[in-house]
Structure 1
Amino acid sequence: MNPESPELTVGELIDQLSALDHEATVQLAINPFFPMAHRIAGAVATRDENGQRLVFLADGDQVGHLPPEVAVQLTWQEPTAAPPRSRRRAARPDGGDG
């Protein structure tokens, strides 16, 4: 990604995807505040109002929650660990308190 522009070019996307498993399914990560996974329904090339070339990836249907590790890698969430569990007291066999 160009550090001077937050936008990803088709070439940059192809480079990133080329490094990955070519048989893997591609989905969109949507909404950092409620991360969900969506299928990609297609791609359309067009131009914006200034004549700049654009490619839109069409959002398909939602397939579920985004895995937490993906939200962390996208920097949408901080890594979290399960809270420590305290040791539970065992019940006495005679049912008494002690």
Structure 2
Amino acid sequence: MSSTLTARDLIDRLSAVDPETPVRLAINPLFPFHHGIVDVIAVKDALGRTTVYVTEDGDQQGPVPPEVTVAAGWHEPTEAPRRPRTCIAAQ
């Protein structure tokens, strides 16, 4: 996995897309679902270092598309198995 994304990295990546585009969190590489974002909260730790938290709304909105899991390095590209077509005889 890559190193932690900084606020600058996130701003740079988001500035490359249409500002009206919805943003989702892709969670859990082993069983990936996406979630809506509610807020961005900055807090300081005991040493005065700031960390930004992107909070989600607690509502799983469905599975993450396969192209996202592949691009994230969570899964290998796969194809659905081929199934033979069968005819159902009229009864």
Q: TM-score range by the shorter chain?
A: 0.7 to 0.9
Query: Could you tell me which residue of structure 2 aligns to residue 13 of structure 1?
Result: 10
TM-score (norm 2): 0.82
Query: Which residues of structure 2 form unaligned runs of 5+?
Result: none
Paired amino acid for 2:12: D
Identity of counterpart residues, as a percentage? Answer: 48
C-alpha distance in structure 1 between counterparts of 2:85 and 2:61, whole Å: 38
Measured against aligned partners, the alpha-carbon deviations of 1:64-94 in whole angstroms (never above 9, x if no partner) come to 11111111111111000122344658x7xxx
Paired amino acid for 1:46: V
> 1:1-98 residue pairs with structure 2 within 5 A?
6-60=3-57, 61-86=59-84
Measured against aligned partners, the alpha-carbon deviations of 1:45-75 in whole angstroms (never above 9, x if no partner) come to 1112332111100111221111111111111
Query: Which residues of structure 1 form unaligned runs of 5+?
Result: 92-98
